[in-house]
């Protein structure tokens, strides 16, 4: 089945690089081919399908186009990273806000063509967006973040003009169109393969993508590898430099590292901080990475459980954490410190920014005494075995340090499969670690998910009417609004003072690559975007 598909694709599109039973020896030098090793398997070629896992997002990123995309910037250390402030055209050639800012009209680019040669039309965009809001699950949630919930909001004006109506003006709508979710599907192909039970062709698109992107899927051997093949006709950006990308799934991190060091793998996505540090020191391969925007590794204290409802206790813990050791031992230095802020209130709206806490056991003890708990107390610290790489050393360091101020911590390891239920859905872990990162890079967006009561990532059960009101009024506000900075500063000030979530550090997303590979950028979706990569 896969083989037949592959052959079909190969006949259709890959005349330049015929796949033989095996490739001739000169191809072993692999010019034009990029070999990528990753740790997780993908389980679908369709992001909208229920159950599609995170690693599968990268397929969508590379084989489908969106109306708009984010630009790329160079960071201070010379690495490339996406730029959340720069939104560029992709399928949309241009766009225009209405005067009341309640609708955006997009002009589609006539150069946008699906793989079968047909033009990308407004009908295709509408069908794809309708699908994103109708199939439910995570895609619907993400669309909702951009105020898009109903098919009626997507209007076809003519073949090349498309409009989105939103109930109230929002700064989040446009950036939300650049995340992986609202990708554009060839609706003619999809509809031809839909059925009454499956009007959105989820079964078909699961294995047979129909897009317009810069790469096509040449083959997919589940549990082993998938192969991207360049779409030579793609004209919506600078021409990609790699003809074929083989993404091989290698479950063992040690094997991935060996493959990279030996030079058999060109690019290693999502390298653990420890390997990243060591490989950088060896200097044989280059490491590229940037701090993940809007993401924090935090120690969360659950206000539903005593004594964490007491602000003084939370502050005491925030003064008792061994921040420096955590950044060194758990993040291997690949983390932006989030401690040691100088002022009790934020000077600007940078987010994340260091909190005004540092390791100060005397102060911690004094605060505990003020809270009437001078003798300390007992509690459990839960962490996710699926993320044991950084959570385990962090937990041990925290246990040791809190012991010094009389807080007796029992460690509680929770298997990855149960973690989400326990920490985020039932919110029943007294003290635990959390690592939310928001795709849309606005502080108010982070607060919306992590500080509003009942919201998924507010695993602390934190509830503050002022924060609720502030987030509600700020979430859709333009950043140019003078009130915006005021509101955000106030939010951050409250987070500083009340610390239901104590930030440990801001993590990095690193990739290791051979010296001849360039153009790698780190993205908010934490996936590989092949389009910009070059190989000498």
Partner 1 sequence: MPDQLLQIGRRLLQAVPSVIGIVIISFALTRALPGDPAVYFAGAMADEESIAEVRQALGLDRSLVEQFFIYVSNLLQGDLGLSLNTGLPVLEELLTRLPASLELTFTGLGLAVLIAVPLGMLAATRPGSWIDHLCRVLVTAGVSLPTFFTGLFLIYIFYFLLGWAPSPLGRLDILYLPPPHVTGFYLIDSLLAGDSETFWAALRQLVLPAFTLGLFALAPIARMTRASMLSALGSEYVRTARANGLSHRKVLFTYAFRNAALPLLTTLGMVFSFLLGANVLVEKVFAWPGIGLFAIEALVASDYAAVQGFVLSMALLFVVVNLMIDLLLTLIDPRVSMSD
Is residue 28 near partner 1 by the rule CB under 8 A? Answer: yes
Instruction: For residues 71 and 51, give the distance between their C-alpha atoms in angstroms, rounded to a whole number.
Output: 29
Residue list 327-366, contact with partner 1 (CB under 8 A): none
- Nearest alpha carbon to residue 207 among 28, 8, 16: 8
Choose the binding region for partner 1 from 158-166, 247-255, 472-480, 486-494 (rule: CB under 8 A): 247-255
Is residue 254 near partner 1 by the rule CB under 8 A? Answer: yes
Q: At what angle do helices 388-403 and 273-282 cross, to 10 degrees?
A: 100
x/- map, 210-239, partner 1, by CB under 8 A:
-----------xxxxx--------------
Query: Cβ 259 to partner 1, closest distance in Å?
Result: 6
Choose the binding region for partner 1 from 17-25, 116-124, 295-303, 322-330 (rule: CB under 8 A): 17-25
Query: Cβ 349 to partner 1, closest distance in Å?
Result: 23
- Nearest alpha carbon to residue 459 among 316, 303, 242: 303
Nearer to partner 1, 7 or 192 (CB): 7
Query: How many whole angstroms from its chain centre is CA 233?
Result: 29
CA contacts within 13 A on the Cβ side of 222:
7
* Residue of the chain from 8, 16, 53, 97 that contacts partner 1 (CB under 8 A): 53
Is residue 261 near partner 1 by the rule CB under 8 A? Answer: yes
Q: Which residue shows structure tokens 């910009």?
A: 532
* Residue of the chain from 425, 481, 483, 486 that contacts partner 1 (CB under 8 A): 425
Nearer to partner 1, 216 or 365 (CB): 216
CA contacts within 13 A on the Cβ side of 357:
30
CA contacts within 13 A on the Cβ side of 156:
14
Nearer to partner 1, 4 or 342 (CB): 4
Inter-residue contact 497 to 489 (CB < 8 Å): no
- Nearest alpha carbon to residue 219 among 442, 2, 445: 2
Instruction: For residues 530 and 62, give the distance between their C-alpha atoms in angstroms, rounded to a whole number.
Output: 7
Q: Convert 309-319 to b/e letters by CB count within 10 Å (16 or more is b).
A: ebebbbbbbbb
Query: Cβ 258 to partner 1, closest distance in Å?
Result: 5
- DSSP codes joined into one string, 389-404: HHHHHHHHHHHHHHHT
Nearer to partner 1, 143 or 287 (CB): 143
Inter-residue contact 312 to 298 (CB < 8 Å): no
CB atoms within 10 A of CB 517: 22
Residue list 442-471, contact with partner 1 (CB under 8 A): 449, 456
CB atoms within 10 A of CB 82: 20
* Residue of the chain from 77, 168, 238, 262 that contacts partner 1 (CB under 8 A): 262
Nearer to partner 1, 138 or 377 (CB): 138
Nearer to partner 1, 21 or 342 (CB): 21
Is residue 12 near partner 1 by the rule CB under 8 A? Answer: no
Nearer to partner 1, 29 or 480 (CB): 29
Query: Cβ 366 to partner 1, closest distance in Å?
Result: 40
Judged by the rule CB under 8 A, the positions of this chain that interact with partner 1 are 3, 19, 21-23, 27-28, 35, 41, 43-44, 49-54, 136-138, 140-142, 206, 221-225, 246, 248-252, 254-255, 258-259, 261-262, 264, 386, 415-418, 420-421, 424-425, 449, 456
């Amino acid at each position: 089945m896969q083989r037949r598909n592959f052959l079909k694709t190969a006949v259709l599109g890959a005349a330049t690089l015929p796949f033989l039973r095996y490739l001739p020896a000169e191809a072993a030098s692999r010019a034009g081919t990029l070999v990528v090793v990753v740790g997780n398997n993908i389980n679908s070629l369709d992001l909208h399908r229920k159950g599609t896992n995170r690693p599968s997002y990268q397929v969508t990123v590379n084989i489908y186009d969106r109306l708009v995309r984010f630009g790329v910037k160079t960071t201070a250390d010379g690495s490339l990273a996406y730029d959340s402030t720069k939104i560029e055209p992709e399928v949309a050639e241009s766009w225009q806000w209405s005067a009341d800012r309640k609708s955006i009209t997009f002009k589609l680019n006539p150069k946008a063509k699906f793989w079968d040669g047909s033009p990308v039309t407004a009908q295709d965009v509408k069908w794809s967006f309708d699908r994103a809001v109708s199939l439910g699950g995570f895609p619907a949630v993400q669309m909702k973040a951009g105020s898009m919930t109903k098919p009626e909001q997507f209007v076809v004006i003519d073949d090349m003009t498309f409009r989105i109506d939103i109930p109230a003006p929002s700064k989040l709508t446009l950036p939300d169109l650049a995340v992986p979710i609202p990708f554009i599907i060839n609706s003619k192909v999809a509809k031809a393969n839909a059925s009454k039970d499956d009007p959105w062709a989820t079964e078909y698109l699961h294995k047979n993508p129909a897009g317009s992107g810069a790469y096509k899927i040449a083959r997919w051997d589940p549990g082993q590898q998938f192969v991207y093949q360049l779409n030579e006709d793609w004209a919506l950006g600078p021409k990609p430099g790699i003809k074929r990308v083989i993404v091989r799934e290698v479950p063992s991190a040690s094997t991935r590292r060996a493959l990279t060091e030996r030079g058999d793998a060109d690019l290693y996505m999502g390298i653990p901080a420890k390997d990243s540090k060591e490989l950088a020191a060896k200097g044989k391969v280059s490491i590229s990475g940037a701090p993940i925007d809007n993401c924090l590794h935090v120690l969360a204290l659950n206000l539903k459980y005593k004594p964490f409802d007491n602000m003084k206790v939370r502050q005491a813990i925030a003064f008792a954490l061994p921040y420096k050791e955590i950044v060194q031992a758990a993040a291997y230095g690949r983390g932006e410190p989030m401690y040691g802020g100088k002022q009790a209130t934020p000077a600007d709206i940078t987010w994340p920014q260091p909190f005004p806490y540092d390791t100060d056991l005397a102060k911690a003890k004094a605060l505990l005494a003020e809270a009437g708990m001078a003798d300390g107390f007992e509690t459990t610290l839960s962490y996710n075995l699926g993320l044991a790489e950084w959570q385990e050393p962090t937990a041990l360091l925290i246990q040791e340090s809190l012991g010094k101020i009389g807080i007796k911590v029992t460690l509680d390891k929770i298997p990855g499969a149960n973690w989400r239920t326990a920490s985020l859905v039932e919110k029943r872990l007294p003290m635990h670690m959390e690592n939310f990162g928001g795709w849309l890079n606005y502080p108010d967006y982070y607060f919306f998910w992590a500080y509003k009561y009942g919201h998924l990532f507010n695993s602390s059960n934190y509830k503050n009417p002022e924060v609720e009101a502030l987030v509600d009024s700020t979430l859709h506000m333009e950043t140019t609004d003078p009130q915006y900075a005021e509101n955000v500063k106030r939010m951050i000030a409250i987070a500083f003072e009340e610390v239901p979530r104590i930030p440990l550090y801001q993590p990095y997303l690193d990739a290791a690559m051979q010296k001849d590979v360039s153009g790698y950028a780190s993205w908010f979706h934490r996936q590989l975007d092949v389009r910009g990569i070059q190989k000498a």
